[in-house]
Amino acid sequence: MKFGQFDDVRKEYVINTPQTPYPWINYLGNEQFFGLISNTAGGYTFYRDARLRRLTRYRYNNIPLDTGGRYYYLRDHDTNDFWTPGWMPVKRDLDFYECRHGLGYTSITGERGGISVNQLAFIPLGYNGEVHRLTVKNTSSANKTVSLFSFAEFCLWNAQDDMTNFQRNLSTGEVEVQDSVIYHKTEYRERRNHYAFYSVNRKIDGFDTDRESFVGLYNGLHEPQVVTAGKASNSVASGWSPIGSHEVKLTLAPGEEQSLVFILGYVEVPEEDKWEAPGVINKKPALAMIEQFATDADVDHALEKLAAYWENLLSKYQINSNDDKLNRMVNIWNPYQCMVTFNMSRSASYFESGIGRGMGFRDSNQDLLGFVHQIPERAKERILDIAATQFEDGSAYHQYQPLTKRGNNEVGTGFNDDPLWLILGTSAYIKETGDTSILDEQVPFDSNPNNTATLFEHLNRSFYHVINNLGPHGLPLIGRADWNDCLNLNCFSKEPGESFQTTANIEGRVAESVFIAGLFVFVGPDFAELCRMRGLDAEANEAVSHINNMRATTLEHGFDGDWFLRAYDHYGEKIGSKENEEGQIFIEPQGMCVMAGIGVEEGLADKAMVSVKDRLDTKYGIVLQQPPYSKYYLNLGEISTYPPGYKENAGIFCHNNPWIMIAETVLGHGDRAFEVYSKIAPAYLEDISEVHRMEPYVYSQMIAGKDAVRHGEAKNSWLTGTAAWNYVAITQAILGIQADFNGLKVDPCIPAAWDGFEITRVFRGDTYVIKISNPGHVSKGVKSLTLDGAQVDGNVIPPVGDGAAHEVVVVLG
């Protein structure tokens, strides 16, 4: 069942009912200021850090779900009827409802009783505020007198404290109101130099800033007493819960339409300019921001700029094929999600509360893969930030805090896959841009500016961190965990509630990871190549010999007859083996080892892929392992804490399905690669939205596996490495356009039935229009390639570098 449809021309997803199977959200903002907004106008807004600078309050895990947002109540003074255009929170039946989630904006329209209200929300580029344009139209044949009541509930900045420390924060709330602007200034009197404001571009008929006065102590947001009464109470908050609400009265002739521009903004004021009079905040910066959007034309202009911004980002890779679903994933929604994930890391979604996790070392490096071609400069900055949290021995903080950019001590280090992702992220940046100067940047260890080395040296330490930490079989030691955060082989936790990621581990130097071995062989060649590019041939050769050893070791000790083993545990026993009762086969080493080419010549890679298909595949995607763990295993950790079929315990972890897609392309299996792709790509799941439940335009981290009670149901949409890896799998491995150190490589691996497709790729400043045809109906193999009519040997387009458009004709066969 569908709950909406794609509008590919406007690059929007159009939702036709407010009662989607779960709130379907969108993100506003690209730089410093961000908002999350659902199809019923729920969500919240923050400046840079969702925990420490949250502007508006949101109640996670509330009943009803998705409470708190930007609500505009429409009250008809003739009938006393009131409602909200996004349906929530009043939930009055609407004669018409539509939500359009677009690139960086959301437009919600509701109509009832002869009035139509459109609520458009976006964050203009370079602006620290959400702009809401409300368009109210009289669709009836009679005159109408209505009031519009705005509503936003302020968060007292620190979202964690806001929801817990009531003995203090119910006494700290402060506001000011002047003209049509409500200022939220809690804690500004002391150490804060920032405040929020909520304005509207016309004279108001009243306001409220005290939640209890507006809503009523025993009422819900569906029946605020001010709206019920039809008159603002002009309350001024003092402690308790400050809110912002304006009342604007409108008289509309039949067919008449009026629009209002509301702004929910954030201002920082230098210490010496904080006050305009004792106790009165300096409003100048807010008024200047408000002035920028005084008129509809200002709003239209900013929307055009936003559209042009996205147009430019998306233009870097565009496909034209016969498959609409593929086109919309590749051209619009997957790169959009990659950008959001890059911006947010794992901080704020409807599943990540915005108060918990910092930026992940491994996560951020992988997010880069899907984003680096859009704004390489930002990728570069991110790489340098991440690398600065590495230690001298090559190990790394697992997470760092975005505001301070320092490693997170609470989570610490010891995830032994982490360092390798830095090589992958950095290589992706250099392949995209050709900019090797990044390798010469001086980067601190452990954020200490007095202890630095070149980024290249950081990569060197990453590479040798693996070699310096090998276990009894010569495979990499796993440490706290590898990619799978929940496979905790040295943890042995018995305390309820103890964190598997941070609790003290035993000093184990036995547990080894076949996955890290695969990752080492996968990223190692890039490191060797970077050595060569720097003229370090001896170093390159040494790296290659380590890689070859690791490949041999993996085949000797990491293969179990029909598939790759997962690991050896603390006792040196096999994990992910036929010999195990549960957890006999895992997806991660099959994907990563075959991506690395291990066992391809020997025919073992093929065997591994067959085993994946036979044992892990389901109609909704490939599960993480089989059979699931049915009880808690002290020696395995968190993986065995989840009920069978969920999360890392045999859920369909959408992050690693693309590794199988890529692995299948290594073997030339284009049909199978695309089959795996289309099983989990959201646009292909639109028709089963009632099962899948999450947004049909973005990936979720997990879909419940076949052992789960609710097989096929997704959770944790938006912020997941799934976005980047699926983007890599489809654009690079399947469609086959790959940035490489010395040019743009064309190496598709597609379903044999495809006749061809066309890709426009902006690469190092030039635009390549690549026409690929498949007359012989093969899956893989470039028979010929011409660049502007001239034959090119091999399948790498050498960068032209003239900033112009070039035609590339590729024939497969």
Give me the active site residues, please. Answer: 485
- Smallest separation, CB 360 to ligand GLC (Å): 5
- Binding-site member from 210, 638, 695, 707 for ligand GLC (CB under 6 A): 638
Using DSSP's 3-state secondary structure scheme, residue 215 falls into helix
What is the sign, positive or negative, of the torsion defined by CA atoms of 429, 431, 433, 439? positive
Smallest gap, in angstroms, from Cβ of residue 418 to ligand GLC? 9
What whole-number distance in Å separates Cα of residue 54 and Cα of residue 779?
50
Per rule CB under 6 A, count of chain residues that contact ligand GLC:
16
Contact 260, 117 (CB under 8 A): no
* 133 near ligand GLC (CB under 6 A): no
Nearer to ligand GLC, 349 or 611 (CB): 349
CA distance 39 to 656: 29
Contact status, residue 367 vs residue 341, Cβ threshold 8 Å: yes
Question: Quick one: 469 or 501, whose CB is closer to ligand GLC?
Answer: 501
Cα–Cα dist 653/671, whole Å: 21
Q: 247 with 232: CB under 8 angstroms?
A: yes
Please give the Cα distance from 434 to 741 (Å, whole number).
Answer: 7
Q: Dig out the tokens for 673 from the structure.
A: 């690669």
- Distance between CA atoms of 678 and 693, rounded to whole angstroms? 17
Residue 331 or 641: which CB sits closer to ligand GLC?
641
Asked whether position 342 contacts ligand GLC by CB under 6 A, the answer is: no
Among 128, 347, 462, 484, binds ligand GLC (CB under 6 A): 484
| Least distance to ligand GLC, CB of residue 172, Å | 33
Query: Pick from 75, 346, 570, 672: which binds ligand GLC (CB under 6 A)?
Result: 346
Nearest residue to ligand GLC, scored by beta-carbon proximity: 485
Which range of residues in 40-48, 231-239, 479-487, 690-698 is near ligand GLC by CB under 6 A? 479-487
Q: Which is nearer to ligand GLC, 247 or 588 (CB)?
A: 588
For position 588 contacting ligand GLC by CB under 6 A, the verdict is: no
Longest dimension (CA), the chain: 86
Q: Is 486 in the site for ligand GLC (CB under 6 A)?
A: yes
Subset of 376-405 contacting ligand GLC (CB under 6 A): none
- Residue from 111, 176, 485, 747 in contact with ligand GLC (CB under 6 A): 485
**Per-residue x/- mask for ligand GLC, residues 496 to 515, rule CB under 6 A?**
-----x--------------
**408 belongs to the binding site for ligand GLC (CB under 6 A):** no
Helices (H), 370-478: 376-387, 418-433, 455-467
Cβ 611 to ligand GLC shortest distance, Å: 21
The yes or no reply on residue 721 touching ligand GLC (CB under 6 A) is yes
Nearest CA among 64, 61, 56 for reference residue 40 = 64
Q: With CA atoms as reference, report the closest residue to 562 among 595, 585, 594.
A: 585
HSE-CB at 458 with a 13 A cutoff on CA atoms is: 35
Nearer to ligand GLC, 357 or 431 (CB): 357
Residue at 616: amino acid letter = L
Considering the rule CB under 6 A, would residue 566 count as an interface residue with ligand GLC?
A: no
Q: Residue 97 in 3-state DSSP?
A: strand
302-313 residues labelled b (16+ CB within 10 A) or e (exposed): bbeebbeebeeb
Helices (H), 558-630: 587-595, 604-616
Nearer to ligand GLC, 645 or 736 (CB): 645
* Residue type, position 308, single letter: A
Residue 351 CB, nearest distance to ligand GLC (Å)? 11
**Which lies closer to ligand GLC via its Cβ, residue 128 or residue 501?**
501
CA distances (Å), origin 267, targets 36, 151, 210, 654, 697: 19, 20, 21, 39, 33
Question: Contact letters (x/-) for ligand GLC, 603-632, by CB under 6 A?
Answer: ------------------------------
Site for ligand GLC in 654-683 (CB under 6 A): 655
Site string for ligand GLC, 359-378 (x = CB under 6 A): -x-xx---------------
- Tally Cβ neighbours within 10 Å of residue 5: 13
CB nearer to ligand GLC: give 344 or 430.
Answer: 344
CA 239 – CA 111 distance, rounded (Å): 36
List binders of ligand GLC among 684-713 (CB under 6 A): 701
Which CB, 157 or 483, lies closer to ligand GLC? 483
648 counts as binding ligand GLC under rule CB under 6 A: yes
> CA angle at residue 466 from 602 to 394, to 5 degrees?
150
Where does this chain bind ligand GLC (CB under 6 A)?
A: 346, 360, 362-363, 483-486, 501, 638, 647-648, 655, 701, 720-721
